[in-house]
Chains A and B, each alone.
Chain A
Amino acid sequence: MAEVVLTEINKWYDRKVHAVKNVSLQIRDREFVVFVGPSGCGKTTTLRMIAGLEEVSSGEIRIGSRIVNDLPPMDRDIAMVFQNYALYPHKTVYDNMAFGLQMRKFRKEDIRGRVHATAEILGIQPLLERKPRQLSGGQRQRVALGRAIVRHPQLFLFDEPLSNLDAKLRLQMRVELKRLHKRLETTAIYVTHDQVEAMTLGDRVVVMKDGMVQQVGEPLELYARPATKFVAGFIGSPAMNFLEVAIRDAAGALWAEAPGLRIQVPSDQAARLRAHQRATLGVRPEALRPASASDPAEHIFAATIDVVEQLGSEILLDLRVGEAPIAARVDPSVRVKMRDTVRLAVDPARLHFFDVQSEAAL
């Protein structure tokens, strides 16, 4: 149980590659924080610096009350689960789990008790005498988890632990991880490139890109109020639609215009947008629906359907507004077919505007 504080940490490789740039972060005690971002965004490097597997070029890492910059991994009281499980192939499951305790000079009976208790939690008791190569992917994953849990560390680190599993198992382990965290109440940092994992697991999510933190927030906050165009596009599936629009002042209101599209900017956003000539309009596919008679005309536009994807529970539409492609996610009861022109209504509260240059939310 510990809080983790990163203060302006940087990582340089060979003084050439700036992999992590001025990352500052406060992770509260018992919090489950997810680092998410595309590959090469610095999330794993940050995790490895917290683990002590990479040196920190500058800045300070604190776990609990100790500054750990110069502590070797063994003294940081952490446990880590790796993507490829990293089970010791020459040891049985029992010995894999016991290794950390043996290294810390626990008594034999204590080790036995702890390993069995942990195995019980994870349902791997029948596997204790096997070698890792005799286990399936899901079982290995459980053993790797067990090896981390059995030590009761202050902090769990997860480096894409589910990405080697097949889709079904991944879903199952995701739920299990969440349950486990509830039960253990240990601070955890979880690295993934999968935004769904990030949204479902994280108490808070840290979105990173090019070594920089883009936004830190609770999952719904990231979804509803993305701080940058990158976050807006990264969180949510299918991804948010982006359109370059011109901002015009007419008839006492502000309008966002693009070929084939003219939408009134809601008054609460108008003040911030007035100073801009152009902006990137972002609207999520699920914020679009077929217009009904009661929808006001200033929030309706017409689009041509390119492709209809029937998913059963919903329909994904690929459409064109002018020349720009957009996606919409609509109710399965909607009857549409390819090449139709449909009138779509947009929820004005769910419009996002981003600066064209800086890509920051306006």
Chain B
Amino acid sequence: MLIERRWKKWSYFYIPLALFVLFALFPFYWMAVTALRPDGELYRAWRAANATPFWTLAPTLEHFQGLLSSTKFLRWLGNTMFIALASTAISLMCGLFAGYALSRLSFRGSEFLGTAIFITYLVPQTLLFIPISNIVRDMHLGNTPWALILTYPTFLIPFCTWLLMGYFKTIPRELEECARIDGATRFGAMVRIIFPVAVPGILSAGIFAFTLSWNEFIYALVFLSSVDQKTVPVGVVSELIRGDIFFWGQLMAGALLGSVPVALVYSFFVEYYVAGLTGSVKG
């Protein structure tokens, strides 16, 4: 009986899980191996007798050195960080207030507004960047970080608003009603009671917004042109693919370093953001 159960647990749970983890993590592994592989191994043919496609025999940091010395990678990292933080802050701020209003205040057209905000999120960026590029040009924001800081919220605000709206709805109304009776204004109750209780939701909205803007590609590609202004995803791709030459080692080293901050952010807040997505507040 016990043995059978263990067998079942393996076949229904551990093995599928292991396969999934393998599938999900393989690209990262590939990225890491490629970044550490010396050029000699990198350009060796698949069928060569001494090919070792899945591991490397002589790991080297030469690609990292090359990346840091021959490109402006650190500068890009700084750009990306600044742009991601600023646009996340703006979007979170707007999303907080909009989400609160949509979930708590019943005003004329609030339902419609909620839907309208959601619809803006559904417009694909690949279409939206055309009119936005007009605006960016007219406002002379092109090739400055502000071109991105002010355009990322176009998709981040709807996202944050909806996530937070859902989270606010799980917080019992009585909490703020009680606070208002206790002597807080509506705004006071929101800031002192609802926001602290909503911290898991706010954090997960923030993490997602940060990740989305960190990884964003199209706007960054279109609105930034000089090497100094680029973000990591655009910089790595545009500077390390020259014509039809791919600097695979440096590309992967850039990708690896570029994904470190995001991974760090996630690992720090993982508990909060799981709570934020499953929404569990007990009064």
Binding site for B on A (CB under 8 A): 51-53, 72-74, 76, 78-80, 82-90, 99-100, 103-104, 132-133, 147, 151
CA–CA, A90 to B181, complex, Å? 18
CA–CA, A83 to B177, complex, Å? 12
Kindly identify, within residues 268 to 283 of chain B, every residue whose CB is under 8 Å from any CB belonging to chain A.
Answer: 281-283
Q: A84-B172, A88-B197 are in contact. Are A103 and B282 (CB under 8 A)?
A: no
Q: Which of B90-98, B182-190, B226-234 contacts A (4 or more CB under 8 A)?
A: B182-190
Q: Is the CB of B180 within 8 A of A72?
A: yes
Chain A binding surface SS class: loop
Q: A84-B174, A86-B283 are in contact. Are A100 and B196 (CB under 8 A)?
A: no
| Contact partners of A53 in chain B: CB under 8 A | 177, 180-181
CA–CA, A84 to B174, complex, Å? 8
Task: Pick the 6 closest A-B CB pairs, nearest first.
Answer: A103-B183, A86-B174, A100-B182, A86-B178, A82-B174, A73-B180
CA–CA, A74 to B186, complex, Å? 10
Q: Is the CB of A74 within 8 A of B177?
A: no
Q: Is the CB of A89 within 8 A of B179?
A: no
**Minimum Cβ distance to chain B for residue A265 (Å):** 51
**Minimum Cβ distance to chain B for residue A191 (Å):** 14
Known: A78-B181, A133-B282. 5 other contacts (CB 8 A): A74-B185, A82-B174, A84-B172, A88-B178, A103-B188
CA–CA, A103 to B179, complex, Å? 9
B130 CB-CB contact with A under 8 Å: no
B141 CB-CB contact with A under 8 Å: no
B101 CB-CB contact with A under 8 Å: no
Q: Is the CB of A90 within 8 A of B196?
A: yes
Q: A72-B185, A74-B185 are in contact. Are A86 and B180 (CB under 8 A)?
A: no
| Contact partners of B182 in chain A: CB under 8 A | 74, 79, 99-100, 103, 147, 151
Query: Contacting A86 at CB < 8 Å: which of B177, B183, B184, B186?
Result: B177
Chain B binding surface SS class: helix
Q: Is the CB of A74 within 8 A of B283?
A: no
Q: Is the CB of A85 within 8 A of B283?
A: yes
Q: Which of B183, B188, B282 has the most A CB atoms < 10 Å from its CB?
A: B183
Q: A86-B283, A90-B197 are in contact. Are A74 and B180 (CB under 8 A)?
A: yes
Q: A88-B193, A89-B197, A90-B196 are in contact. Are A74 and B175 (CB under 8 A)?
A: no
**Minimum Cβ distance to chain A for residue B282 (Å):** 6
| Contact partners of A133 in chain B: CB under 8 A | 282
**Minimum Cβ distance to chain B for residue A54 (Å):** 10
16 of the cross-chain contacts (CB-CB < 8 Å) are A51-B177, A51-B181, A72-B180, A82-B174, A83-B174, A84-B174, A84-B283, A86-B175, A87-B283, A88-B175, A88-B197, A89-B282, A89-B283, A103-B183, A132-B282, A147-B182
Kindly identify, within residues 168 to 215 of chain B, every residue whose CB is under 8 Å from any CB belonging to chain A.
Answer: 172, 174-175, 177-186, 188, 193, 196-197, 199
CA–CA, A82 to B184, complex, Å? 17
CA–CA, A160 to B39, complex, Å? 74
Q: Is the CB of B183 within 8 A of A80?
A: no
Q: Which of B182, B196, B281 has the most A CB atoms < 10 Å from its CB?
A: B182
Residue of B nearest to A157 (CB): B181
Query: Contacting B181 at CB < 8 Å: which of A74, A88, A89?
Result: A74
| Contact partners of A99 in chain B: CB under 8 A | 179, 182
| Contact partners of B196 in chain A: CB under 8 A | 90
| Contact partners of A86 in chain B: CB under 8 A | 172, 174-175, 177-178, 283
| Contact partners of B185 in chain A: CB under 8 A | 72, 74
Residue of A nearest to B171 (CB): A89
Kindly identify, within residues 83 to 105 of chain B, every residue whose CB is under 8 Å from any CB belonging to chain A.
Answer: none
| Contact partners of A83 in chain B: CB under 8 A | 174
Q: Is the CB of B181 within 8 A of A73?
A: yes
**Minimum Cβ distance to chain B for residue A29 (Å):** 20
CA–CA, A43 to B23, complex, Å? 59
Q: Which of B172, B174, B185, B199 has the most A CB atoms < 10 Å from its CB?
A: B174
CA–CA, A99 to B283, complex, Å? 16
Residue of A nearest to B180 (CB): A73
Q: Is the CB of A132 within 8 A of B283?
A: yes
**Minimum Cβ distance to chain A for residue B106 (Å):** 10
CA–CA, A78 to B183, complex, Å? 10
Kindly identify, within residues 35 to 92 of chain B, every residue whose CB is under 8 Å from any CB belonging to chain A.
Answer: none
| Contact partners of A89 in chain B: CB under 8 A | 175, 197, 281-283
CA–CA, A52 to B175, complex, Å? 15
CA–CA, A104 to B179, complex, Å? 12
Interface string of B133-171 (1 = CB under 8 A from A): 000000000000000000000000000000000000000
CA–CA, A53 to B181, complex, Å? 9
Q: Is the CB of A88 within 8 A of B282?
A: no
Q: Which of B174, B178, B180, B184 has the most A CB atoms < 10 Å from its CB?
A: B178
Q: Which of A53, A74, A83, A99 has the most B CB atoms < 10 Å from its CB?
A: A74
| Contact partners of A90 in chain B: CB under 8 A | 196-197, 199
Q: A74-B183, A100-B183, A103-B188 are in contact. Are A82 and B178 (CB under 8 A)?
A: yes
CA–CA, A132 to B197, complex, Å? 13
| Contact partners of B177 in chain A: CB under 8 A | 51, 53, 73, 80, 82, 86
**Minimum Cβ distance to chain A for residue B279 (Å):** 13
| Contact partners of A132 in chain B: CB under 8 A | 282-283
CA–CA, A278 to B172, complex, Å? 51
Residue of B nearest to A97 (CB): B182
**Minimum Cβ distance to chain B for residue A263 (Å):** 51
| Contact partners of A51 in chain B: CB under 8 A | 177, 181
